[in-house]
Chains A and B, each alone.
With several copies, the nearest count.
Chain A
Amino acid sequence: MMTRVVVTVMPRTETLDPQGQAVAGALHQLGFDDLGDVRIGKRIVLDIDGDDPVGQAHAMCDRLLVNRLIEDYEVDAG
């Protein structure tokens, strides 16, 4: 039976996040003055079968889902 595994991928803290930067600017223009930093990443929800879904998810991150040069990630069994 399928297990739901959630992978969150975020831009590394030291790398530029143009998307977060643009959204922060826009929210400030809309008058949200209490807003500080904004960072935007991905939430990837995987349904995985078999006995080691989390291990599988990590493998998927290494092979395809994450670019370790610019992104950090976490895996949680839903």
Chain B
Amino acid sequence: MSTEALPRHRQLGLTDWEAEQIPGLLGREPTDPELVMFSLMWSEHCSYKHSKPLLGAFPTEGPHILQGPGENAGAIDVGDGMAVAFKIESHNHPSAVEPFEGAATGVGGIVRDIIAMGARPIALLDSLRFGELTSAKSRFLFRRAVAGIGHYGNCIGVPTVGGEVGFDDCYEDSCLVNAMCIGVLPHDGILRAAAKGVGNRLVLFGNKTGRDGIGGASVLASAELSDDEDKRPSVQVSDPFTERKLMDCCADLAERGLFVALQDLGAAGLTSAASEMASKGGLGLRIDLDRVPLRETVMLPAEILVSESQERMLAVVTPGDVDAVIAICRDRFDLDATDIGEVTDGDRLVAIADGEVVVDIPAQYLADDAPVYEVPQNPAPAPVPLDLAGVPEPTDLAAAWLALLAKPTIASKRWVYEQYDCLVGADTIRRPGGDAAVVRLPGTNRAIAVTTDCAERHCQLDPRAGGAAAVFEAARNVACTGARPAAITNCLNFPNPEKGHTGWRLAQAIAGMSDACRALGTPVVSGNVSLYNESATRIIFPTPVVGMVGLLEDAARSVGHAFSQEGDLALLVGSGAPRLDGSEYLGRAEGYPTPPDADIEVALCRFLADAADEGLLVSAHDIAAGGLAIALAESAIGGALGVTAETAAGDRTDVALFGECGGRAIISCRPGDDGRLRELARELPVACLGVVGGDTIALQVGQTRVSIPVAAAANAYERAIPEALA
């Protein structure tokens, strides 16, 4: 299909109806640069036109919330006048086109969102989904995306402390690459994007502007990934070295109080940055395109306006400070910095090229007035419980246990996180490999616990319960380190919302996440939406990734997931009815997964944090994918220590071992501390599993005894991914 045949607005991705609105708004035909700007700002990626109406359901307020959704990132109070800003973002489509650069620039983008808040980035996480590792294409995408994330995070000196990776054939054609960044800042240091002060200057600094990703990320992320060349952006090449200079430079300028407002340049480049700064500030901006430093000798006004060249920031500064700002950028940080225009009275975004006005439109038409679509709400059939008769019980349970440990989605992700610098800054107290990571807030004894989680199969089968389950799992992971869940960010990775049940699933997942956030008192402070993750043959599961931040008053009280002392007691805290439905063990999106019980989840999180406060927990590990048997094995492998445990048999041993449900964690404590732990647990069930020690993991389930050597378990768990890639 050649695009020459298509009318201009269609080439740009606007529907006929959308294109018709523009003259109505402007009272005239748009200029070509204006049409290009509309097409990008009205794309799904920039305008959220299919998801906006649904996102309103999220709870976003709380006493500790300093900044909710709407700015570059959200921010929460962490005490002592300090705040933590965080956000998660997707770079799925660019990563599918060029996994190394796509994933790398994804990290760069989210880091600039945090910088734009005036914060210093202190941690990164990455949430990844690929097809099965039996596919050469998926092995390639996985290898290169991880390399790209490592390359960028390592070079900018922000520790990548956690994340997740899942593998399922539904991601074969639409891999997911989400990155989360967390930064620290003083309360009074929060910067906002709103332009202020008529007559103030606009300073563009960082990399030069080239033809990167023209009509790229935004258009690409707004329709199903097609192979026609013309949809392909000119790929953005990551430049982490410049990003690091940008980080240091912004920190320096913020410290000197030289920013009136700050905004990063992401999708739709200057167009998006400028129109958002203008409309948020209720003012106009006048940009002189001839002043923008270019990498190419010639670029059209439209190209300059929508270029997605990376590592650029746009600041509003007072006329008196312009020279100082530019001098600091150039002399101290070897960064290009240019005065490209000014804040004006009124509401218009004006762009000038060789003396001519090429753009003159009210900024909010671009930033706020994109058409909004109600996505169809076609409920999917209610989940049907799995018929266990169709799932033969394994004759060799030990073999099944080892096989499950070696499933890439469950197996150790060491191959991934050893490629990431998780230590730079020397404040990483709990490294990747456990539940949540724990990072000390620089210069204090406080710490944050951070994790990303999702329950995509659960969301496919029962989106409302699945959405809640994702939030509760994140909370459990945070609480297992002794932290108290504080707030979440989220990335809604979904297929085409205009088709099938997707729109309904999106709404349901949001409702479920909201239920859980209310129950836990963890509002949503930021997020991102990635739709159209499907191909002609494969449609991804609804994948709402939750990024949670929790707080620890005393970093020294954090808890790890590994057993660590012979003779300790292993206890099972919480309760739930494990099912094979939709489980990793079953390996299919089939059945009716146990819906989460909010009361138990909340009580469990409170208990874990209270117990950690009293220093009673030697280890804590939540029971998630793979059920009790996998969680027990992970605590044993982590500490190279066995355990002898006993648990009641359900109807079937495999269900008791590998069945999944929320609301449960395995803790270990010194003998004698269990009494106090039971007091702290109040109504929450606490069952003694057994005793830590020896070199086998032995589990008595009713009459059946299953056991595997710790060494064999570690071998299966650690080797799976390297061998799948070999």
**Footprint of B on A, CB under 8 Å?**
11-12, 14-18, 21-22, 25, 67, 69-70
Contact = CB atoms under 8 A, between A and B. Distances in A.
Contacts of A18: 237-239, 241-242
A16 B237 contact: yes
A12 B234 CA distance: 10
Interface in B201-230: 207, 210-212
A70 B239 contact: no
Interface in B299-315: 309-310
19 contacts: A14-B210, A14-B211, A14-B234, A14-B296, A15-B212, A16-B236, A16-B239, A16-B295, A17-B237, A18-B239, A18-B241, A21-B239, A22-B241, A25-B334, A69-B97, A69-B98, A69-B235, A70-B101, A70-B235
Nearest to B207: A16
A41 B243 CA distance: 22
A16 B207 CA distance: 10
Contacts of B237: 11, 15-18, 70
B241 A15 contact: no
Nearest to B236: A16
A-B residue pairs, 5 tightest by C-beta: A18-B239, A16-B237, A69-B235, A14-B211, A69-B98
A67 B334 CA distance: 25
Contacts of A21: 239
Interface of B: 97-98, 101, 207, 210-212, 232, 234-239, 241-242, 295-296, 309-310, 334
Q: Which of A12, A18, A22 has the most CB of B within 10 A?
A: A18
Contacts of B98: 67, 69-70
A21 B235 CA distance: 18
Contacts of B334: 25
B235 A15 contact: yes
A69 B95 CA distance: 12
Nearest to B242: A18
Nearest to A17: B237
A15 B242 CA distance: 15
A25 B310 CA distance: 19
A46 to B, nearest CB: 18
B346 to A, nearest CB: 36
A51 B309 CA distance: 36
Contacts of A69: 97-98, 232, 235
Contacts of B310: 16
A71 B212 CA distance: 14
B300 to A, nearest CB: 13
A25 B334 CA distance: 9
Contact of A15 (B207, B232, B234): B234
A70 B104 CA distance: 14
A24 to B, nearest CB: 11
A18 B241 CA distance: 8
Nearest to B237: A16
Q: Which of B232, B235, B238 has the most CB of A within 10 A?
A: B235
A16 B334 CA distance: 17
Contacts of B296: 14
A67 B211 CA distance: 18
A22 B207 CA distance: 12
A21 B309 CA distance: 15
A16 B309 contact: yes
A17 B296 CA distance: 12
Q: Which of B210, B212, B232, B239 has the most CB of A within 10 A?
A: B239
A21 B245 CA distance: 14
A18 B232 CA distance: 22
B694 to A, nearest CB: 42
A15 to B, nearest CB: 5
A64 B239 CA distance: 21
A25 B237 CA distance: 19
Given A15-B210, A16-B210, A16-B236, 4 more contacts: A14-B210, A14-B211, A17-B237, A69-B235
Nearest to A15: B237
Q: Which of A12, A16, A69 has the most CB of B within 10 A?
A: A16
Nearest to A11: B237
B136 to A, nearest CB: 11
A17 B561 CA distance: 41
Nearest to B239: A18
Q: Which of A12, A15, A21 has the most CB of B within 10 A?
A: A15
B52 to A, nearest CB: 32
Nearest to A25: B334
Contacts of B295: 16
A16 B212 contact: yes
Contacts of B101: 70
Contacts of B210: 14-16
Q: Which of B237, B295, B309 has the most CB of A within 10 A?
A: B237
Contacts of B234: 12, 14-15
A67 to B, nearest CB: 7
A16 B295 CA distance: 8
Contacts of A70: 98, 101, 235, 237
A36 B510 CA distance: 54
A69 B212 CA distance: 12
Contacts of B309: 16
A11 B241 CA distance: 18
Nearest to B240: A18
Contacts of B241: 18, 22
A52 B22 CA distance: 58
A15 B295 CA distance: 9
Contacts of A22: 241
A18 B210 CA distance: 13
Contacts of B235: 15, 69-70
A28 to B, nearest CB: 10
A9 to B, nearest CB: 14
B274 to A, nearest CB: 22
B151 to A, nearest CB: 11
B587 to A, nearest CB: 29
Contacts of A25: 334
B231 to A, nearest CB: 13
B144 to A, nearest CB: 10
A15 B236 CA distance: 7
A12 B242 CA distance: 20
A12 B310 CA distance: 17
A30 B237 CA distance: 27
Contacts of A14: 210-211, 234, 296
B55 to A, nearest CB: 33
Nearest to B310: A16
A12 B210 CA distance: 12
A22 B335 CA distance: 11
A18 B237 CA distance: 8
Contacts of B97: 69
B602 to A, nearest CB: 48
A12 B212 CA distance: 12
A72 to B, nearest CB: 13
Nearest to B235: A69
A76 to B, nearest CB: 26
